[in-house]
Amino acid sequence: MQPMGNEKPGNVPGRPLSPFLAGSQAVPPFTSSGPVVGAGASGYLRATAPFSSAPQATTPFSSAPQATTPFSSAPQATTPFLSSQPMTGTQTFGYRAPAPPSMRSSGPAIQSPPLSYLPHDATASQQTQAPRFPPPAQPPTPLHSPPVGPSAVYAGGSFRPQSQMPTVPMGPPPQNSAQLASRSNMPPLPDSSSFMPRPPPQPSYSNFVSGGNVPPSLAEPLFPGSKPVSQPSPQTTSYVPSLQASSYHAHQGGVVPPPPPIGTPAGFSLREQMQFPNLGPAAGGHLQSLVEEFQSLSVGSAPGSLDPGVNLESLPRPLNGDEEPSKVLDSYPLNCHPRFLRLTTHAVPSSQSLLARWHLPLGAIVHPLAEVPEGEEVQIVNFGSAGVIRCRRCRTYINPYVTFTDAGRKWRCNLCSLLNDVPGDYFCALDATGRRCDIAQRPELSKGSVEFVAPTEYMVRPPMPPSYFFLIDVSVAAVRCGLLEITAKTIKSCLDELPGFPRTQIGFLTFDSALHFHNLKSSLSQPQMMVVADLDDVFLPLPDDLLVNLADSRHVVEAFLDSLPSMFQGNANVESAFGPALNAAFMVMSRLGGKLLIFQSTLPSLGIGRLRLRGDDLRAYGTDKEHTLRIPDDPFYKQMAAEFTKSQIAVDIFAFSEKYSDIASLGSLAKYTGGQVYHYPSFQAITHGDKYRYELARDLTREIAWEAVMRVRCGKGVRFTTYHGHFMLRSTDLLALPAVDSDKAFGMQLSLEDTLMTTQTVYFQVALLYTSSSGERRIRVHTAAAPVVADLGEIYRQADTGAIISLLSRLAVENTLSNKLEDARQLVQLKLVKSLKEYRNLYVVQHRLGGRLIFPESLKFLPLYVLCLCKSLALRGGYADAPLDERCAAGYGMMILPIRRMLRLLYPGLYRLDEVLTKGADNFDESLKQLALTAQCLDARGLYIYDDGFTTTIWLGRMLSPDIVNSIFGDNLSSFPDLSRVQLPELDNEVSRKLMRVLKFLRENDPSVYQLCRIVRQGEQPREGSLLLSNLIEDQTAGTSSYIDWILQIYRQSQG
Ligand SMILES: [Zn+2]
């Protein structure tokens, strides 16, 4: 039996001429009431399939540093700029990040101030520095290569070694760096002879198919290279906005007016700008168009000087959060909404040499199941007997960018240009402009996003019923913190809302030093527990009834959940037979697949998969062993993950330990199965209860796409070569996702296959094939087009900072799995500097912009976001700056974040509330003004709230009005010696009610998590430091730069 998940080719021309039944249904996705497929009760399950893991072959941060470009820039007319503003840059708040509660000592030896990243003694005429960065040849990380050594085979519940499948090297081809000739005043033309682009070596992909799950046809390359490809017909252009059209440029600049220069640097005036109109890329010499070309910040001090010359106020800040590039839809109205797919730049470079000068990652963030506003649901199309219409050659799904010819009898594929026959059932006449007359009735021809009902040929087995299996640690640690009670009650409260009624399956396995199976047979009145203590040869004590139909066994399930907390009330067992329990869960679930939810409160200590208390190790930091702390300690976990994915099982981990519990190892189960890691360090029911309840309930009740695979096809000349997120690669470009939902996004990097792109437009198509909870096979398809350009400036202008930083964050987190934290941070910084330097070189000389940091409007927040990334929990500092488990959990979390949540996490919101609470209106959208993330914004008379999307912190100023305090707490603060245990009550007064409404408002911004609200008083150390001050990323904290210092560093490094 093969698992599902195959986009099975078929549908060659000549299908039967049955009446076309189709039509489109305006049914919201995820709520269909499709055919109910009966769920066979599971038989006695002992998985015997030979184990052959499908190792994921993503690459670590794989772009090679560019070779030094030996151009010598013209001397800059840098003029000292003496700001009349207060010298805010040297302000120090006097705060040093406190050691975390673990009382680690923070030693200077393990932190290097970012100032040392790159030399900053740049002078105006210096040569480009060779990047001080480790050579590109990084050793492969164990996470990214298949487990070394014997893997295991399930046979009768025990493991046997078996030989390993070969790995597939993945990753973009090494970029060839263009050797720049010495620079003249003119920006070099990308196709000028000074560039000597060489085609990069193509990565060698073998047709790697894991475990025999994928029909050979799926491993075929998208475009069998030997076939001649005909040129696109002229008709193609009628659906594609013209590249030359001014409308494309219309939204450049002017959207956000550039901030006025602070002060006027001597020697730089508007008049001088006007003197060189013809040299600027803005033809016509219009001042406005010049302003639209770039933004800049005055940096008045001489390079190398310590005097800050940047005005704090003038620094760009993303105070409105993510700005979706919805303007793309103005130029490409047939594209899917950017919430589903965002390119890092909506202008694809036309050549390898041009790409080499972009320096930032070229790629996309794909969020296939992003939640949509009401009324914009993705429409469902059922082709009925005509079958899903796809290109015969490249398997692209029919979409709004295909063109019809031959009086409607043929259609041309927009990805590979092949002329396909229109099936008889699908025929429609064309109007005078060559469009089909029925286009308005056909979402697949008029909408960028659509969902097809997949016929049986897209199934290898009948769609399985949704199933939920719970693996619950009941050792003393779990009992003591109140976890069992909350878990049982929350699951019980969600039973009515579990997706898939009436087919939903459910089961439980509890464990400490032994495994406890629970018979939930519907004929029982109470569940029966069977204990298996033999951990070496795990077997199922019962062939059936460990995973049961929820509707049939509802009363037994409820009885089990009611008794669960008391069942283990006095349990003093400290051991955890986690690995054997995982084996047992696999045996129960392997036939149906589904979701495995793991609740783990301690370090696995018994049987296979037991983990060492390796903990964090100060001595490893700064050495080439550092990264090993952040990767799984035992290949068992990745092998199990591979086995789970093969059986369509997704794993979510809820981890609660107050001690080290090796999140690095446990999390890999979620990473390779499309799952998620929830971490509640030092869980206490009283403080974390609400958050945990909410997040568990969301996990259980959110809609799921089951048994899914995703592939992103691209037009000629480009292809996605690396993927970053939680999934397992089933072939070079097929992502296996046993379960996926609206909270998961994926990053991917794009490579140019040809030296020179010959098309004007490149197309992308995301296809997610999945089983809905109702048991219907569906294909969700998002299609987008982007222009191919030969102008480097345009590539920068069309950059999407949100997509860039989301992709950079994923690359940086992956990089920490094979390198030092310091190296991962440096690499991101280097990319930023190179891109700004490249951009600067386009414009600086002809506009005499020495002394200014130049950047495109589109990237104005990127320097700040890169700083935020370097200061994020996953990447910051070293040993003393984040507990290892929390760092690893944060890393797993970042890998799946959609763009909006990533940006909120990187640059959280800070709002002053005292006036809003006492005077403001209820319209929080307007009354909540986001502030710069610096302690300078904190007024001792104020009340502030800080919100990073995961937690909120309320900060009470020392001189905050006692009336407000009383209104909120019902007492004065002296009655609360320990604010860490205080829960905000809702009191019967307007201030308290309004505060609750603010919290609700912030939480509703993001339904995927529950923001724990913590309260801290000004000066209450160390809590104030860890909860708020160390997160004010614009300030200098131990070993990190302030925003101003950062900008100065970037400015210095990007000169030359
Ligand atoms: Zn095609």
Please answer whether residues 771 and 707 qualify as being in contact, where contact means their C-beta atoms are separated by less than 8 angstroms.
Answer: yes
- Say yes or no to pLDDT of 2 above 70: no
| Centre of ligand 1 from the C-alpha of residue 737, in Å | 25
Give φ, ψ of 890 to 5 degrees. Answer: -65, -40
Region of residue 263 (left: phi > 0; alpha: psi -120 to 50; beta: else): left
| Cα separation, 482 vs 680, whole angstroms | 13
| Centre of ligand 1 from the C-alpha of residue 490, in Å | 48
pLDDT given at position 879: 92
Distance spanning both ends of the chain, measured CA to CA: 62
| Centre of ligand 1 from the C-alpha of residue 390, in Å | 8
Residues in a beta bridge with 198: none
| Centre of ligand 1 from the C-alpha of residue 1015, in Å | 57
| Centre of ligand 1 from the C-alpha of residue 398, in Å | 9
| Centre of ligand 1 from the C-alpha of residue 419, in Å | 8
pLDDT given at position 33: 33
| Centre of ligand 1 from the C-alpha of residue 392, in Å | 7
- Say yes or no to pLDDT of 694 above 90: yes
109 versus 377: the higher-pLDDT residue is: 377
- Say yes or no to pLDDT of 547 above 50: yes
| Cα separation, 345 vs 788, whole angstroms | 11
Residues in a beta bridge with 679: 655
- Say yes or no to pLDDT of 655 above 60: yes
pLDDT given at position 849: 62
| Centre of ligand 1 from the C-alpha of residue 443, in Å | 20
Res. 320 pLDDT band, cuts 50 70 90:
confident
pLDDT given at position 299: 61
| Cα separation, 694 vs 1011, whole angstroms | 10
| Cα separation, 273 vs 72, whole angstroms | 23
| Centre of ligand 1 from the C-alpha of residue 303, in Å | 54
Which residue, 308, 304, 266, is CA-closest to 123? Answer: 304
| Centre of ligand 1 from the C-alpha of residue 420, in Å | 8
| Centre of ligand 1 from the C-alpha of residue 348, in Å | 20
Residues in a beta bridge with 720: 750
Q: Which of 212-216, 371-375, 898-902 has the highest mean pLDDT?
A: 898-902
| Cα separation, 814 vs 144, whole angstroms | 9
77 versus 531: the higher-pLDDT residue is: 531
Tens of pLDDT along 624-641? 999 999 999 999 999 999
Give φ, ψ of 386 to 5 degrees. Answer: -70, -20
- Say yes or no to pLDDT of 1 above 80: no
| Centre of ligand 1 from the C-alpha of residue 400, in Å | 14
| Centre of ligand 1 from the C-alpha of residue 343, in Å | 22
For 362-439, list the strands marked E by DSSP: 363-366, 379-381, 403-405, 410-412, 419-421
| Centre of ligand 1 from the C-alpha of residue 715, in Å | 8
The amino acid that residue 541 corresponds to is P
| Centre of ligand 1 from the C-alpha of residue 391, in Å | 5
- Say yes or no to pLDDT of 590 above 70: yes
In this structure, of 668-682, 704-718, 917-931, the range with the lowest mean pLDDT score is: 917-931
Res. 457 pLDDT band, cuts 50 70 90:
confident
| Centre of ligand 1 from the C-alpha of residue 712, in Å | 13
**Mean pLDDT computed over 445-452:** 97
| Cα separation, 991 vs 966, whole angstroms | 10
| Centre of ligand 1 from the C-alpha of residue 455, in Å | 21
| Cα separation, 951 vs 164, whole angstroms | 43
Which residue, 211, 206, 39, is CA-closest to 642? Answer: 211
- Say yes or no to pLDDT of 74 above 80: no
pLDDT given at position 187: 32
- Say yes or no to pLDDT of 168 above 90: no
Please answer whether residues 763 and 401 qualify as being in contact, where contact means their C-beta atoms are separated by less than 8 angstroms.
Answer: yes
- Say yes or no to pLDDT of 129 above 90: no
- Tokens 């102008």 belong to 791
Res. 314 pLDDT band, cuts 50 70 90:
confident
pLDDT given at position 981: 81
Res. 324 pLDDT band, cuts 50 70 90:
confident
pLDDT given at position 406: 95
| Centre of ligand 1 from the C-alpha of residue 735, in Å | 20
Structure tokens, 260 = 């006025």
- Say yes or no to pLDDT of 298 above 70: no
pLDDT given at position 914: 93
Tens of pLDDT along 95-124? 333 333 333 333 333 333 333 233 333 333
Percent of the chain with pLDDT over 70: 70
- Say yes or no to pLDDT of 403 above 90: yes
| Centre of ligand 1 from the C-alpha of residue 652, in Å | 37
3-state secondary structure of 794: helix
Angle between helices 990-1004 and 962-969 (to 10 degrees): 70
pLDDT given at position 287: 41
Number of H helices, E strands in the chain: 25, 32
pLDDT given at position 54: 37
pLDDT given at position 977: 81
| Centre of ligand 1 from the C-alpha of residue 389, in Å | 11
**Mean pLDDT computed over 862-874:** 96
| Longest CA span, the chain | 90
| Centre of ligand 1 from the C-alpha of residue 412, in Å | 8
789 versus 1040: the higher-pLDDT residue is: 789
Structure tokens, 654 = 């809820």
| Centre of ligand 1 from the C-alpha of residue 751, in Å | 19
| Cα separation, 492 vs 503, whole angstroms | 17
Cβ density class 54-74: b for 16+ within 10 Å, e for less: bbbbbbbbbbbbbeebebebe
- Say yes or no to pLDDT of 165 above 50: no
| Centre of ligand 1 from the C-alpha of residue 394, in Å | 4
Res. 353 pLDDT band, cuts 50 70 90:
very high
Structure tokens, 991 = 């201030």
Q: Is the dihedral of CA 958, 963, 967, 970 positive or negative?
A: positive
| Centre of ligand 1 from the C-alpha of residue 176, in Å | 29
Res. 1047 pLDDT band, cuts 50 70 90:
very high
pLDDT given at position 159: 32
Burial of 36 (0-12, 13-18, 19+ CB in 10 A): middle
3-state secondary structure of 136: coil
| Centre of ligand 1 from the C-alpha of residue 713, in Å | 10
**Mean pLDDT computed over 896-909:** 96
338 versus 99: the higher-pLDDT residue is: 338
In this structure, of 232-246, 390-404, 748-762, 834-848, the range with the lowest mean pLDDT score is: 232-246
DSSP tag of 690:
H
Tens of pLDDT along 989-1036? 999 999 999 999 999 888 889 988 999 999 998 899 989 999 999 999
Average pLDDT over the chain reads 76
Structure tokens, 457 = 């040929």
| Centre of ligand 1 from the C-alpha of residue 396, in Å | 5
pLDDT given at position 49: 36
pLDDT given at position 274: 28
pLDDT given at position 17: 33
Please answer whether residues 311 and 87 qualify as being in contact, where contact means their C-beta atoms are separated by less than 8 angstroms.
Answer: no
Tens of pLDDT along 229-262? 333 333 333 333 333 332 223 233 323 333 333 3
868 versus 213: the higher-pLDDT residue is: 868
| Cα separation, 825 vs 117, whole angstroms | 9
Q: Which of 43-57, 128-142, 997-1011 has the highest mean pLDDT?
A: 997-1011
- Say yes or no to pLDDT of 460 above 80: yes
pTM listed for this prediction: 0.75
pLDDT given at position 288: 46
Give φ, ψ of 174 to 5 degrees. Answer: -55, 135
| Centre of ligand 1 from the C-alpha of residue 136, in Å | 36
| Centre of ligand 1 from the C-alpha of residue 413, in Å | 5
**Mean pLDDT computed over 939-955:** 95
Strand pairing category for 951-956 and 1012-1017: parallel
| Centre of ligand 1 from the C-alpha of residue 395, in Å | 6
| Centre of ligand 1 from the C-alpha of residue 415, in Å | 5
pLDDT given at position 755: 76
Q: Cα–Cα distances in Å, from 942 out to 48, 593, 954?
A: 65, 53, 11
| Centre of ligand 1 from the C-alpha of residue 399, in Å | 11
Res. 955 pLDDT band, cuts 50 70 90:
very high
Region of residue 265 (left: phi > 0; alpha: psi -120 to 50; beta: else): beta
| Centre of ligand 1 from the C-alpha of residue 447, in Å | 19
| Centre of ligand 1 from the C-alpha of residue 356, in Å | 28
| Centre of ligand 1 from the C-alpha of residue 211, in Å | 28
| Centre of ligand 1 from the C-alpha of residue 467, in Å | 37
In this structure, of 196-205, 529-538, 811-820, 1037-1046, the range with the lowest mean pLDDT score is: 196-205
| Centre of ligand 1 from the C-alpha of residue 103, in Å | 60
| Centre of ligand 1 from the C-alpha of residue 366, in Å | 21
Percent of the chain with pLDDT over 90: 59
| Cα separation, 355 vs 767, whole angstroms | 26
If residue 768 lies in a helix (H) or strand (E), which one and from where to where?
Answer: strand 761-771
Tens of pLDDT along 802-858? 999 999 999 999 999 999 999 999 999 999 999 999 998 887 666 666 677 888 899
Please name the residues in contact with 327: beta carbons below 8 A apart, sequence gap of 6 or more. 251, 255
- Say yes or no to pLDDT of 163 above 90: no
Q: Cα–Cα distances in Å, from 903 out to 361, 551, 813, 872, 926?
A: 17, 42, 15, 11, 20
| Centre of ligand 1 from the C-alpha of residue 711, in Å | 15
CB atoms < 10 A from the CB of 10, how many?
14
| Centre of ligand 1 from the C-alpha of residue 646, in Å | 29
